[in-house]
């Protein structure tokens, strides 16, 4: 049985976020997404719509029973949201697979933000066809927030990442519009490569030559990052550089841990074919391993 719950927050007029969609399967794992959504709802004086997706690929009697039980649970949740959290809410049920149901809700509601719970590790599924969460992230056109850590308040350190691409530029320009963590420390990480260190002839270099080469590459990376941020037009960002000694995803996670970041901001990338099904992108690798929240900003698709 696969079940997903979606929650939409309609924001007060004049706020940046008008709709926030949250997905959960009613587990303790996905309750984190709901609690983070409540924090955002309070911040933006939002109302709540609960949408529960029941897997319809089952015998009809089971689907009907689950729908009836879901409606009861949703009613209880709306009462709790009103009485405990002082958030107005409504609820409805969608019959579909979790992926199709969530995608359908995203298309219908056009949210400014989709919130989901932590990644559930399923080794073979992860390696070969990806998770429901990753399928959703690749298909929807809105930012997606994966809540990995128990929500304990507003974000304190938001660490943006960039590869200096046009897609990354576009994503960074969209993040401030969400107004998430406006008072948090904000930094941007660029994991740069030093290609000569991957070549066979690196063994012919002395330690001093390798250090000098890496220092020169860091100077170039610093200049490139500075020029990139100037073109983005965002002020007040700390800059961080890491040499890609290990895969980029590992370097991102290591930087987040070292700098005590509680939200990592990444960008999706369009991929297709075997690469899309088998080889995880940096974004997907971070999603699968991060213990802190991750915000994924989508690339705009051509109209």
pLDDT of the chain, 303 residues: tens digit per residue: 444 445 454 443 444 677 788 787 777 877 898 899 888 888 887 777 777 889 999 999 999 999 999 889 888 988 998 899 998 777 878 899 888 888 888 888 888 888 888 866 554 444 334 567 777 887 888 889 999 999 989 899 999 999 898 888 888 888 777 788 778 899 999 999 887 777 656 677 788 888 888 899 999 999 999 999 988 887 778 999 998 888 889 999 999 999 999 999 998 765 443 333 333 578 888 988 899 999 998 876 544
Q: What are the C-alpha distances in Å from 139 to residues 7, 34, 163, 271, 301?
A: 19, 22, 22, 11, 10
Q: Give me the domains of the chain, ranges plus CATH numbers.
A: 3-146 (3.40.50.620), 157-297 (3.40.50.620)
């Amino acid at each position: 049985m696969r079940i997903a719950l979606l929650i939409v927050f309609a924001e007060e007029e004049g706020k940046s976020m008008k709709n926030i969609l949250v997905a959960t399967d009613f587990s303790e794992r996905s309750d984190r997404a709901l609690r983070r959504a409540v924090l955002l709802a309070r911040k933006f004086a939002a109302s709540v719509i609960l949408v529960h997706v029941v897997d319809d690929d089952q015998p009809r009697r089971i689907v009907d029973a689950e729908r009836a039980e879901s409606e009861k649970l949703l009613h209880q949740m709306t009462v709790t949201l009103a009485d405990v959290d002082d958030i107005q809410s409504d609820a409805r049920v969608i019959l579909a697979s979790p992926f199709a149901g969530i995608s359908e809700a995203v298309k219908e509601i056009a949210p400014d933000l989709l919130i989901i719970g932590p990644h559930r590790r399923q080794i073979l599924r992860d390696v070969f066809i990806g998770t429901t969460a990753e399928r959703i992230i690749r298909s929807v056109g809105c930012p997606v927030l994966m809540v990995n850590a128990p929500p304990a308040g507003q974000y304190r350190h938001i660490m943006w990442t960039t590869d200096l691409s046009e897609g990354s530029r576009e994503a960074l320009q969209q993040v401030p519009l969400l107004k998430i963590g406006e008072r948090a420390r904000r930094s941007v990480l660029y994991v740069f490569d030093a290609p000569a260190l991957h070549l066979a002839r690196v063994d012919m270099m002395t330690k001093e030559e390798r250090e000098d080469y890496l220092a020169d590459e860091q100077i170039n990376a610093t200049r490139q990052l500075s020029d990139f941020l100037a073109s983005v037009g965002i002020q007040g960002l700390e800059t961080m550089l890491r040499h890609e000694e290990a895969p980029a995803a590992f370097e991102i996670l290591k930087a987040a841990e070292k700098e005590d970041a509680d939200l990592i901001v990444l960008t999706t990338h369009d991929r297709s074919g075997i690469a899309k099904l088998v080889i995880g992108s940096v974004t997907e690798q971070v999603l699968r391993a991060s213990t802190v929240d991750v915000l994924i900003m989508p690339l705009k698709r051509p109209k």
